[in-house]
Amino acid sequence: MTITETATAHASGNAATGKFKTERVSADTSPERAAAIYRDVLDAFKEIIHKHEVTYDEYRVLKQWTIDVGEYGEWPLWLDVFVEHEIEDVNYSRNSLTGTKGSIEGPYYVAGSPKLPATCTMPMRDKDRACTPLVFSGQVTDLAGNGLAGATIELWHADEDGYYSQFAPGLPEWNLRGTVECDEQGRYEITTIQPAPYQIPHDGPTGSFIESYGGHPWRPAHLHLMVQAPGKLPITTQLYFKGGEWVDTDVATAVKPELVLDPVPGDDGKNRVSYSFALDPAA
């Protein structure tokens, strides 16, 4: 048994909640707007209850399930699987934005990953080095295709067992996480490993929720990226792999056709792919 096999929904859920709590988030929502949103949430609840004539026993089961999600620390997980894609859609899929598409951040981003030069290899263990290498190169540009000086790419992804460093036991702190400082033309060449499809933790209440509607807990293999350059709108996105399992039925509904890579296997055993990011001007 490997160390990472001891990771559980409970442990990874609590790690995600613990990390989120340290951020102490806030929003400058007006009291009027907040009241309108709360009223609509209550109306949506009322509509569902009346539509399905929800019984008292069913209501008590809902109470128990919400308690369980909290105790397992799974609210960041549940919300990022079932809600975040709609938030991302409303905020970034506006007609006025024509740059590279965004996708959900998910619960496993950690700020402050080690800085890496434009041509680099991600921090990884010997165990990761035994996986298929992926050489990912390209350029961060403006909408006209001009390379951008000062661009950075934060990259983070799971290992071949589907575990993220800092959210599962036994992994080095910054394993498969880095902040790449692109060259003066925004170019980069990052060597990492080909990620594997990933099951969201499903031995807890999020898993029972998925089971109850006949779903599956799989996300397709993906890379997470946060791309920034001075004067440009930063993007948070994900990249997927053509023909990969679960690309068409992602549990988190986060795949977009523009975000699918098609790496080419090389004679040296490395997969290579080029993908460039076009950033919209900052608002």
Could you list the residues that contact ligand BEZ (CB under 6 A)?
77, 80-81, 104, 106-108, 200, 219, 252
The dihedrals phi and psi of 3, each to the nearest 5 degrees, come to -60, -40
The least CB distance from residue 261 to ligand BEZ, in Å, is 16
Residue with Cβ nearer ligand BEZ (141 or 237): 237
Contact 206, 77 (CB under 8 A): yes
Question: How far, in whole angstroms, is CA 20 from its chain's centroid?
Answer: 14
Write the CA distances from 13 to 201, 213, 214, 253, integer angstroms: 8, 21, 22, 20
Contacts of the segment 31-39: beta carbons below 8 A, 24+ positions apart:
none
Question: What is the smallest separation between the CB atom of 108 and Fe ion, expressed in angstroms?
Answer: 6
Shortest distance, CB of residue 108 to ligand BEZ, whole angstroms? 5
Cβ at position 115, least distance to ligand BEZ in Å: 23
The stretch near Fe ion (CB under 5 A) out of 28-36, 63-71, 104-112, 170-178 is 104-112
Cβ closest to ligand BEZ, residue 156 vs residue 229: 156
CA distances from 275 to 9, 42, 80, 110, 272 (A): 33, 43, 25, 23, 10
Give min distance, CB of 159 to Fe ion, in A: 11
Q: Is the CB of 106 or the CB of 204 nearer to Fe ion?
A: 106
Whichever of 164 and 188 has its CB closer to ligand BEZ, that residue is 164
DSSP percent split of the chain into helix, strand, coil, nearest 5: 30, 20, 45
* Residue 80 contacts which entry, Fe ion, ligand BEZ, none (Cβ below 5-8 A, type-dependent): ligand BEZ
Stretch binding Fe ion (CB under 5 A), from 4-12, 26-34, 100-108, 134-142? 100-108
Using the minimum distance from each CB to ligand BEZ, give the nearer residue, 154 or 189.
Answer: 154
Partner that binds at residue 223, options ligand BEZ, Fe ion, none, CB closer than 5 to 8 Å by kind: none
CA quadruple 72, 77, 79, 85: dihedral, nearest 10 = -170
Distance CA 199, CA 177 (A): 19
